Amino acid sequence: MTATARTVVIRQQGGPEVLEFEDRPVGEPGPGEVRLRHHAVGLNFIDLYQRSGLYKIPLPAPLGQEAAGVVEAVGEGVTHVKEGDRVAYGGGPAGAYAEARVMPAGAVVRLPDAISFEDGAAAMLKGLTVQFLFRRTVPLAAGDTVLLHAAAGGVGLLACQWARSEGIRLIATAGSAEKCRLALDHGAAEAIDTSASDFVAEVKRLTGGRGVDVVMDSVGKDTFEGSLDCLRPLGMMISFGASSGKVPPFDLLTLMAKGSLKLTRPSLFTHIADPATCREMAADLFAKMADGSVRVRIGQRFRLDEVAEAHRALAARATTGSTVLIP
């Protein structure tokens, strides 16, 4: 092992220009920890939220929540992985933007040999998000109808495939005709180009005025009110991101007036806080990947030293599918 690892850190929150590199000591894993050598790192909106200040974090701080690599050493009490294992994680303390690191072993799962490091790094956080959206947030079954925003992104393309594999009708929205075609190719039943159409009117047309059973909204401020208008009475709104900005406060009586709607704002990290649950969720995801139901689409690859460029591309919605950083 090397004594230090090149690591991305921020000393203040702001634009991509605040991203810095430093050589940080790696050290040996303590009890309940593992030391990993990263082969691929995932890029996610939460990284942008932490960098920009939308999510307040103690500073200085490393960034990155998702990666895949090889276990170099394990600490006392770690039994589910061993030295030499291929592993991946999506969660745990930030710090994935690095060549190597020590981290809690509970967040780490074994990566099947059939899944590449890049696919593992691209799929963990996004794929586990899709797993909890479809499996753990609200009961969904074949024949249900879901509206999914930002369907050409990393989470979106996985969700389109997951829905198709479960017989769930997924209506996608995306910001261009090209991105709509991508969503359709990945399993969306219908796609709405939000640059050319009013998505609320289109959803009402596609559902015969009924509305959808569930909305999955990672966009936030720009789509929140319209998303509520797309729901059937007693429908469920899942707000799980804020790529367009934080949803402003609103009157809870709105939910009653629009049909006794339900609203939740979940976080993946709550779902995977228990290591055993995390491994179960990952096994479900890997099974979907292994049988071909869900395939990861990596639309962009950047070197780790191009991390600022990668952040700019994601913020500008100039990416499709998942993005990985290569240390």
CATH classification of the domain holding 247:
3.40.50.720
Positive or negative: CA dihedral 51, 57, 59, 61 = negative
Q: Can you read off the two tokens belonging to residue 256?
A: 């009653």
Q: Give the range of the structural domain holding residue 196, as residue numbers without chain letter.
A: 142-265
Strand order in the sheet with 231-239: 190-193, 169-174, 145-148, 212-217, 231-239, 262-264
Domain stops at, among 247, 265, 283: 265
Q: CA neighbours within 13 Å on the CB side: how many for 261?
A: 26
In a domain, 209, yes or no: yes
pLDDT tens string 20-70: 999 999 999 999 999 999 999 999 989 999 999 999 999 999 999 999 999
**DSSP for 115-131, written as a single string:** S-HHHHHHHHHHHHHHH
- The DSSP 8-state label assigned to residue 132 in this structure reads I
248 lies in the same domain as 321: no
H helix intervals, 80-193:
117-131, 154-166, 177-185
Q: Can you read off the two tokens belonging to residue 2?
A: 């090397």
Question: What does the pLDDT average to over 252-275?
Answer: 95
How many structural domains does the chain have? 2
248 lies in the same domain as 302: no
260 lies in the same domain as 276: no
pLDDT at 1: 52
Is 53 exposed, middle or buried (CB count within 10 Å of its CB: 0-12, 13-18, 19+)? middle
Domain stops at, among 218, 245, 265: 265
Q: CA neighbours within 13 Å on the CB side: how many for 293?
A: 15
Across all residues in the chain, what is the average pLDDT?
95
Beta strands 212-217 and 231-239, pairing class: parallel
pLDDT at 246: 86
Collapsed DSSP state (helix, strand, coil) of residue 210: coil
Domain stops at, among 265, 289, 310: 265
Beta strands 33-42 and 61-62, pairing class: unpaired
How many angstroms separate the CA atoms of 319 and 323, rounded?
A: 8
In a domain, 129, yes or no: no
pLDDT tens string 138-189: 989 999 999 999 999 889 999 999 999 999 999 999 999 999 999 999 999 9
223 lies in the same domain as 257: yes
pLDDT at 89: 96
pTM of the predicted model as reported, rounded to 2 decimal places:
0.88
Query: Cβ(22)–Cβ(97) under 8 Å?
Result: no
Beta strands 4-10 and 20-25, pairing class: antiparallel
70 lies in the same domain as 110: yes
In a domain, 132, yes or no: no
pLDDT at 130: 97
User: Comparing C-alpha atoms, which of 173, 145, 152 is closest to residue 236?
Assistant: 145
E-only strand ranges, the chain: 4-10, 20-25, 33-42, 61-62, 66-74, 86-90, 100-104, 108-110, 145-148, 169-174, 190-193, 212-217, 231-239, 262-264, 298-303, 322-326
Count of CB atoms situated within 10 Å of the CB of 263 = 18
261 lies in the same domain as 146: yes
Q: What is the CA radius of gyration of the chain?
A: 20
pLDDT tens string 229-243: 999 999 999 999 888
Residue 202, amino acid: E
Q: Is the pLDDT of residue 302 over 70?
A: yes
pLDDT at 2: 58
Q: How far is CA 96 from CA 31, 35, 149, 294, in A?
A: 20, 12, 27, 24
pLDDT at 197: 93
In a domain, 17, yes or no: yes
Count of CB atoms situated within 10 Å of the CB of 315 = 16
How many angstroms separate the CA atoms of 18 and 11, rounded?
A: 7
Spatial neighbors of 97 by CB under 8 A, at least 6 apart, are 7, 8, 41, 47, 62, 63, 64, 304, 307, 325
In a domain, 12, yes or no: yes
Q: Is the pLDDT of residue 221 over 70?
A: yes
Question: What does the pLDDT average to over 104-124?
Answer: 95
How far is CA 103 from its chain centroid? 20
Question: What does the pLDDT average to over 104-129?
Answer: 95
Collapsed DSSP state (helix, strand, coil) of residue 174: strand
